[in-house]
Chains A and B, each alone.
Chain A
């Protein structure tokens, strides 16, 4: 199986329960178990879930796709519906850096129909998800070609069929339509990098960053709360065919991804630091898999882009011991 096919068929097992405050029978509602393709989106499955949970609801009139939102069962965090489910999973449940042999448990999400949180974008109509998807696609096209005319000149039939192929998980149709979208030599690459973000400094303190001080005095760096997602686009520089994933990451985040070429000169210093407090390093994960840094970026995008044309890189931090 080629990489594209493997990615397309990757899936996330989910356990979905109804918010107990909205259920007639508190926490006794039967959970719904479903396995969703990584490249798909939660709103696609709402009709199914509404049909299943409707009769459990205290107030059945709230059961509409526009009201529905999800939160993580573990820490009650609203889940952003417009991101692919695989990416959401990797952001909320970062895979362990070392391969562990434990059996993966389904990811537990809670479905709500009331108190829609302000921090989530509203889905004002039925086709909001499709619209969000098409916008992401156009954005990626704009980066690759300098305009979105390839996506915008898709026929009505093809652009409908493209979204439908994501909904129906139909790789053949998807490949047929998207094959016209990819230029042989892209100008830029649609890549997003997601960094876990530790707790922000309190607003009263001066904003000068103190990277040398691992223990900000005012706030203990324990359970880090904060905007976890820092998205960084591939910068608009002339793209060389040989640029690798490591080149990209070490130019953006040299402390997390030291440049192997430079590390020789500072090897001594590095060794000392490693001995003293354990080195913090980043690991790049795409679709939940650790990607070798020497892989050329052009290939990463060609083989590993999601259904929206973007490559989402989730950075996981590890402390070397």
Chain B
């Protein structure tokens, strides 16, 4: 199974908040729980509507990665231009925000040990009539 490469920049998606008042001793206690999870989970892509079908549909990804890694990866795979809009829904239901952690989404919404994304995309000329992409 192919792996979606980790996006190290994305790990720092939220890195800009400084918690300056963490007591020194708390750092150790917190480090225990805030290490990015390195376990791999499987995600499956399903093309919907005009989205092209990927040659490979199941990928492995590090669970500590943010959802944005998936969207960036898929955009690259589908060779989308920046003006194209990609829609990604979990279980054909909702679009998570870009900063959600993959591992959390997997734990909560997996089906048969896979996290299922359905994808659709639209080109710029369709933007006027298309529903709003988020984010």
Contact = CB atoms under 8 A, between A and B. Distances in A.
Interface of A: 75, 77-78, 80, 82, 91-92, 94, 117, 119, 121-125, 127-128, 131-132, 135-136, 138-139, 142-143, 147-148, 152, 188, 195-201, 203, 207, 209, 211-216, 221-236, 252-253, 255-256, 277-278, 280, 317-319
Given A196-B19, A252-B33, A142 B98 contact: no
Contacts of A91: 17
Given A221-B27, A317-B23, A198 B134 contact: no
Contact of A209 (B26, B35, B91): B35
A131 B132 contact: yes
Contacts of A196: 19, 22, 26, 30
Nearest to B25: A280
26 contacts: A82-B97, A131-B131, A132-B134, A135-B134, A138-B94, A142-B93, A147-B93, A195-B34, A197-B30, A198-B19, A198-B31, A199-B27, A209-B35, A212-B28, A221-B28, A225-B18, A227-B15, A231-B101, A233-B104, A233-B107, A235-B107, A236-B107, A255-B29, A280-B26, A280-B29, A317-B22
B19 A255 contact: no
A278 B25 contact: yes
B38 interface: yes
Contact of B31 (A211, A228, A233): A211
B14 A124 contact: no
Interface string B98-127: 111100100111000000000000000000
A222 B34 CA distance: 17
Interface residues of B, number: 49
Contacts of B96: 135, 139
B97 A121 contact: yes
B53 interface: no
A121 B108 contact: no
Contacts of B101: 230-231
B34 A198 contact: yes
Given A94-B21, A231-B100, A256 B29 contact: yes
Nearest to A75: B18
A229 B13 CA distance: 10
B133 A124 contact: yes
B108 A236 contact: yes
B16 interface: yes
B110 to A, nearest CB: 9
B18 A319 contact: no
Given A135-B96, A227-B11, 14 more contacts: A94-B21, A122-B135, A124-B132, A127-B132, A135-B134, A136-B97, A197-B34, A207-B35, A209-B31, A211-B31, A212-B28, A224-B19, A229-B99, A231-B100
Contacts of B85: 124
Nearest to A226: B15
B117 to A, nearest CB: 14
A129 to B, nearest CB: 9
B34 to A, nearest CB: 4
B2 interface: no
Nearest to B38: A207
B26 A198 contact: yes
Contact of B25 (A127, A214, A222): A214
Nearest to A228: B17
A309 B55 CA distance: 38
